[in-house]
Amino acid sequence: MKPLVLVVDDNDRYANNLKVYLENLGCRVLRAIDAKQGWNLFLQNRSELAAVITDITMETQTSGLWMIRKIHKDGFRGLKIIATTGFDVFGVMAISKFLLPSFAGISFMIPKVPLKNGKVVMLPTGLASEPFEKTLFLYP
């Protein structure tokens, strides 16, 4: 069965670029436009989800971060990934690589500058032992 991935982002351009990338890998994709809708779609589909990819800043400056932490605390064992413009600021990704795994079980980070241009770059945190494309197919 094709992996199911939930993409939570209020920006259509970023979300569509992720959707195309994931579908080209052979995934089914659900889309939420904010953290509230993302949480509801997570609850409805958690047994099938292989991954959740979320932006941080949506309805509030940190709503995506708190949603992914809530998903982590709920015991979700699939991949948890954050895509944010914050990673494009010098030094943020280097620090986040060590903090996000313990805060919310984040395995990969996606900087938005390449994503804006249609290129998805999956940068691993300390939790990722294999590339995203290989790891994704290990979940439901």
Give the phi and the psi of residue 72 in degrees, each rounded to 5.
Answer: -65, -45
pLDDT tens sequence across 8-63: 999 999 999 999 999 999 999 999 999 999 999 999 999 999 999 999 888 878 89
pLDDT bracket for residue 91 (50, 70, 90): low
Percentage, residues of the chain above pLDDT 90: 64
pLDDT bracket for residue 5 (50, 70, 90): very high
Instruction: Indicate if the pLDDT at residue 140 is higher than 80.
Output: no
Residue 6 amino acid letter: L
Residue 32: predicted pLDDT: 98
**Hey, what domains does the chain have and what are their CATH numbers?**
4-138 (3.40.50.2300)
pLDDT bracket for residue 121 (50, 70, 90): very high
Residue 112: predicted pLDDT: 87
Alpha-helix runs per DSSP H in the chain: 12-25, 35-45, 63-73, 92-104, 112-116, 132-135
Residue 93: predicted pLDDT: 67
Residue 61: predicted pLDDT: 85
Sign of the CA dihedral with 17 first, then 20, 26, and 31 last: positive
Instruction: Indicate if the pLDDT at residue 139 is higher than 70.
Output: yes
Alpha carbon separation from 117 to 16, 18, 20, 42 (Å, rounded): 11, 11, 13, 28
